[in-house]
């Protein structure tokens, strides 16, 4: 993870994309993951509520996202999506300006140039595609 143009403010970090905080999501990784509140440079109740939702629903989100990524890789790349899940790692989560929408950005060695992006509203999949799908 690049840490260019970051400025520490307590536990929050100001990035070019918005305010961010690193959190642990054991269902996804044993490393801290940055959550970026896109286009916002102050934390507020919406940010905290979104983070609380993601933390409390991480097992369900992990299951939903893994199923979608498996199907996506099988369909688009003609590979066994279930076998490549171990090659995928969550690198960022975006809290989008739209109510209850989140973007998950993944690195994948099978397409290191494009990665994989997943956009959700609550626990429902909106879109999956290249990494930028997570924040567009």
Kindly report, residue by residue over 33-64, the tens digit of the pLDDT.
Answer: 999 999 898 999 999 999 999 999 999 999 99
What per-residue confidence (pLDDT) applies to 41? 87
Print burial letters for 11-38: b (CB count within 10 Å at least 16), e (below 16): ebbebebbbbbeeebebbeeeebbbbbb
Strand pairing class (32-38; 88-95): parallel
Coil, strand or helix at 10 = coil
CA separation for the pair 47, 37 (Å, rounded): 7
Question: Hey, which residues does 92 pair with through a beta bridge?
Answer: 105
Average pLDDT over residues 2-18: 63
Q: Per-residue DSSP letters for 16-84?
A: TTEEEEEEE-TTT-SSEEEEEEET--S--HHHHHHHHHHHHTHHHHHHHHHHHHHHHHHHHH-S-HHHH
pLDDT at 1 over 70: no
Entry pTM: 0.89
Domain locations in the chain? 7-134
At residue 81 the predicted structure's pLDDT band, cuts being 50, 70 and 90, is confident
Residues of the chain above pLDDT 90, percent:
74
């Amino acid at each position: 993870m690049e840490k260019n143009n970051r400025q520490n403010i307590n536990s929050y970090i100001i990035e070019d994309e918005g305010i961010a905080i690193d959190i642990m999501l054991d269902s996804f990784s044993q490393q801290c993951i940055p959550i970026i509140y896109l286009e916002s440079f102050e934390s507020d109740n919406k940010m905290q509520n979104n983070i609380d939702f993601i933390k409390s629903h991480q097992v369900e989100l992990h299951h939903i996202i893994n199923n979608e990524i498996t199907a996506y890789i099988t369909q688009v790349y003609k590979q066994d999506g279930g076998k490549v899940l171990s090659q995928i790692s969550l690198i960022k989560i975006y809290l989008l300006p739209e109510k209850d929408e989140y973007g998950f950005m993944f690195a994948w060695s099978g397409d290191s140039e494009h990665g994989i992006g997943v956009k959700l509203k609550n626990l429902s999949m909106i879109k999956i595609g290249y990494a930028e799908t997570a924040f567009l």
